[in-house]
Chain A
Amino acid sequence: MKQRLKAFFTPVRIFALALFACIILALTSFFSGKVQEALRLGFDTVIVPMQKGINSLGGVFYDHAVNLAAREELESQVTDLTSQVEDLQAENQRLQQDAYELSRLRQLYALDEQYASWPKTAARVIGSGSDNWDMEFTIDKGSDDGMRVDMNVIAGNGLVGIITAVYPNRSVVRSIIEDNSYVSGMLASTGQICSVRGDISLMESGQIRVTDFSADTDAKAGDEIVTSNISDKYLQGILIGTVSEISSDGSQITKSGTITPAADFENLQEVLVITTTKADLTGDGS
């Protein structure tokens, strides 16, 4: 029996069997994401703690090096900053009065709080896309920490991306500079709608493409683009970036160009996840 088995498993047959197994895997995961999900969950239990460990170890060394280098610079900055603080305190006083007046006027107009500050959770980036073709990255919070798919992710004051998959202890974020990413944006000043698309050929220069501006738009270099009111995934008014150049398309019906994102994608370490989704706000929770 053993001899027969041995005789059956020639390299060619093993090769054919392996290819067959791959095709079966592809077909099953094409029709349902369950296989891939189960495998990922299995690997996660091993990989995620390790990633966290390696990251914090690297962080210790990095912080130390940065500390040494930055110390002198910081000392000179402190004196500059103390004088700035005094100026700002005076200005803050004035602005608080303005804010008070604004809230009073808002109440008068009964305006909704469109731009209210959304609840946010900080998360650490623990891994970047594991191949050369995409710009997904992984954060160290998952469904156990209340993360859900479609939550917006920001860093600094700029939009970074959106959560596309959630696992118990990590989530996958698709960044807006990734090739298949699409965000509906608008010009902050006038509210004209445009489309913001990631483009792999611009990724290297850190830019994103902006398209579908109507030809009569007054967008020009330096204008701010924010997420639009008609987007069904992104909350309104999050800064995406500033226009770096814009020109007419061949058709003369639309204009397109590139924008420089406000978030720094080169050095993403900590991000903020907005725990309200657009679906929560519009009331059609998925």
Chain B
Amino acid sequence: MKYRLYQIALIFVFFVAEIELVPLIRVSGNGPELLLLLPVFFGFFGGPVNGIFAGLLAGILADVYGGTLLGTSAFLFVCFGYMSGRLLENVEQEEFFFPMMLTFLSAFLYECAMWFVLFVLHNRIDAGFFFTRKILPVSLYTLVAGIALYFPVRYLDRKMRAAAGRGEKRNETNLS
């Protein structure tokens, strides 16, 4: 329970950073998708259930303040959280490369989905522009933000895990 509260608090902090800080560090209109980092990280640290939980919450927050239909980002974030939990199940907790790869992949898929929902469905394909000016820059920027935030989040996560008496376990399956 205590650990869940910590997760909710961290998601909220990332959400505030996303709407307050990211506009200040945008480069030619592209900023990192901070909220996307949490499902991937929590999925890696705590297994699929934690990833799904973070994905659902972060996704709904992103939808409520974004321009898309409620549930779109939540759906994708839940998938990323689950994917991260499942794919990285047997990866060492000290590993740095794999979670970062997954961060980039998730951001890339997320931007592609946004492009699809917002433009391709309205018959505005223009793939060259969107790939070089929107999708790739945002994915890379998210990766950079992920690299910068990975160690602080991991440090916090271990502290909170120890405080909540959860120990080093990642294939948790219960929701409490």
CB distance from B55 to the nearest CB of A (A): 7
CA distance A131 to B63 in the complex (A): 10
> Whose C-beta in chain A lies nearest to the C-beta of B82?
A15
**A25-B175 contact, Cβ under 8 Å, with A11-B49, A18-B52:** no
Interface of A is mostly: helix
Establish whether residues B66 and A30, one from each chain, have CB atoms under 8 Å apart when the complex forms: no
What sequence of 0s and 1s flags, for each residue 131-165 of chain A, a beta carbon within 8 Å of any chain B beta carbon?
11110100000000000000000000000000000
Inter-chain contacts of A127 with B (CB < 8 A):
19-20, 23
CA distance A50 to B17 in the complex (A): 12
Establish whether residues B16 and A130, one from each chain, have CB atoms under 8 Å apart when the complex forms: no
Q: Which of A36, A39, A127, A132 has the most CB of B within 10 A?
A: A132
| Range for the number of chain A residues in contact with chain B | 35 or more
Establish whether residues B173 and A39, one from each chain, have CB atoms under 8 Å apart when the complex forms: no
Interface-forming stretch among B28-36, B95-103, B157-165?
B28-36
> Whose C-beta in chain A lies nearest to the C-beta of B20?
A54
Establish whether residues A25 and B74, one from each chain, have CB atoms under 8 Å apart when the complex forms: yes
Q: How many residue pairs, one in A and one in B, have C-beta atoms under 8 Å apart?
A: 120
A6 at the interface (CB under 8 A from B): yes
The one of B18, B22, B56, B173 that contacts A18, using a Cβ cutoff of 8 Å: B56
The one of B31, B62, B175 that contacts A14, using a Cβ cutoff of 8 Å: B175
> Whose C-beta in chain A lies nearest to the C-beta of B70?
A29
CA distance A9 to B78 in the complex (A): 16
B138 at the interface (CB under 8 A from A): yes
Inter-chain contacts of A19 with B (CB < 8 A):
75, 78-79
CA distance A248 to B69 in the complex (A): 38
What sequence of 0s and 1s flags, for each residue 46-81 of chain B, a beta carbon within 8 Å of any chain A beta carbon?
011100100110011111111101111011001100
Question: In the complex, which residues 185-204 of chain A have their Cβ closer than 8 Å to any Cβ of chain B?
Answer: 200-201, 203-204
Inter-chain contacts of B173 with A (CB < 8 A):
6, 9-11
B129 at the interface (CB under 8 A from A): yes
Establish whether residues B126 and A201, one from each chain, have CB atoms under 8 Å apart when the complex forms: yes
B85 at the interface (CB under 8 A from A): yes
Establish whether residues B33 and A14, one from each chain, have CB atoms under 8 Å apart when the complex forms: no
B166 at the interface (CB under 8 A from A): no
B174 at the interface (CB under 8 A from A): yes
**A11-B75 contact, Cβ under 8 Å, with A29-B70, A130-B66, A132-B30:** no
Q: What 7 A-B pairs come out closest when comparing CB atoms?
A: A26-B71, A25-B71, A29-B70, A22-B75, A11-B48, A130-B65, A134-B67
Residue positions of A touching B, CB distance < 8 A: 6, 9-11, 14-15, 18-19, 21-30, 35-36, 39-40, 43, 47, 50-51, 54, 127-134, 136, 179-180, 200-201, 203-204
